[in-house]
A and B are shown apart, each in its own frame.
Chain A
Amino acid sequence: MRVAVALVLGLVGLMAQAQMYVDSARSITKPAVVQYLYPEQITIPAGRPSTVTLHFRISPGLHINSHTPTEDQLIPTTFSIPASAGVRLEGAVYPPGAEFRLPLDPGTRLSVYTGEFTVQARLVATAGDHLVEAKLRYQACDSNACMPPRTIIAAIDVIGRRE
């Protein structure tokens, strides 16, 4: 009996240690610069275009180019929805960018988003429940360095309600 109890305890201990190592490995991954906030679920009339406001947040101290950057070479923030999702993106309205100048190059004006921003997405859904993996592509910088362009997934449960 004692041996059995000791074995159980040993096994549990090993499982706990293993869990910690797994968590440790996960924590190495850097968090995304931009996070999708909400809504997680929306209900819209099926077959009819509806405008939905999607909220995003940028990590403090960083900025991303607006949808209309000031130079052709800069990568704009763009929102998209995969074609086969049962939900179609008819269009998106982006907020205007705020003016930003790099301290080392005050002569260059940039158009950026910082903090929280929204995208007004005009969606058309077929009837039913669709788990949409919308995408936001952005390119982030701070005053001294830039990160490569990234795409985050905004998971949204879109319910197309029959009317």
Chain B
Amino acid sequence: MKRNSLVLGAVLAILAFFGWAGWVNFEFRKQAAERLLAPAPGGELKAGPASDGPPFIPMLLGKPAPAFTLENLGGKKVPLSDYKGKALLINFWATWCGPCKIETPWLIVLRNQYAAQGFEVLGISMDDLDHGNPRALSEEKQEIARFVQQTQIPYPVLIDGDSISRPYGGLDELPTSFFVNRNGIVVAAQLGVTSKAEIEGNIRKALGGGN
């Protein structure tokens, strides 16, 4: 009799524990779902200034810009180290990205304005490239080249940015820009198109002049 009571008690305790674990799990999932489904402020994807940006921005701020080597449109391999000693704006963009087209003319003006001080823009295309299909690859490269020509981009444009998206935080949204100082350290980042003034402020920061 005593043993039966003990077993019954244990079973009830186990059931109660299952119930508790289930409830905790349900609450946890509910909160996670609410966090995921909650629209971003103003129903937008992101961020603006680096200070309240997404998690990848603080992750890279103050750290060396992740090294890479990418091809330019002429097929030449270009390592990031080629720009050692320069202040850089690494701008990830794509031909299908409308907001990227808005900021491109600003980047051209700012690049020309600050080039003499040792500043350069590196445009990195995130357009998909079909490496398994030479004909498609050639057409895709031509499409990027056409865009560069149409918009008269004077700065270096590299391709296959997707291959370096991971160290740069995934690059789930474009345009994304990283501002790198002369020592190769990321000093600011921007997600989405912001304003010419904000880009210029970050260029000055990269050049060492602060805001």
Q: Which residues of A contact B (CB under 8 A)?
A: 1, 5, 8-9, 12-13, 15-16, 19-20, 23-24, 27, 30-31, 59-62, 73-75, 102, 104-105, 108, 110, 139, 141-149
Contact = CB atoms under 8 A, between A and B. Distances in A.
A142 B43 contact: yes
B104 to A, nearest CB: 11
A139 B128 CA distance: 13
Contacts of A74: 96, 98
A35 B25 CA distance: 25
Contacts, number: 121
B143 interface: yes
Nearest to A19: B25
Given A8-B14, A102-B102, A143 B44 contact: yes
Contact of B25 (A8, A9, A16, A139): A16
B44 A144 contact: yes
Contacts of B40: 61
Interface of B: 3, 6-7, 10, 13-14, 17-18, 21, 24-25, 28-29, 32-33, 35-37, 39-40, 42-46, 94-102, 126, 128, 143, 147, 162, 171-175, 191-194
B96 A149 contact: yes
A86 B99 CA distance: 41
B33 to A, nearest CB: 8
A110 B18 CA distance: 53
A144 B45 contact: yes
Which 7 residue pairs are nearest across A and B when measured between Cβ atoms? A61-B43, A16-B21, A145-B192, A144-B192, A27-B32, A5-B10, A145-B173
A145 B43 contact: no
Contacts of B126: 148
B44 A12 contact: no
Contact of A73 (B143, B173, B174, B194): B143
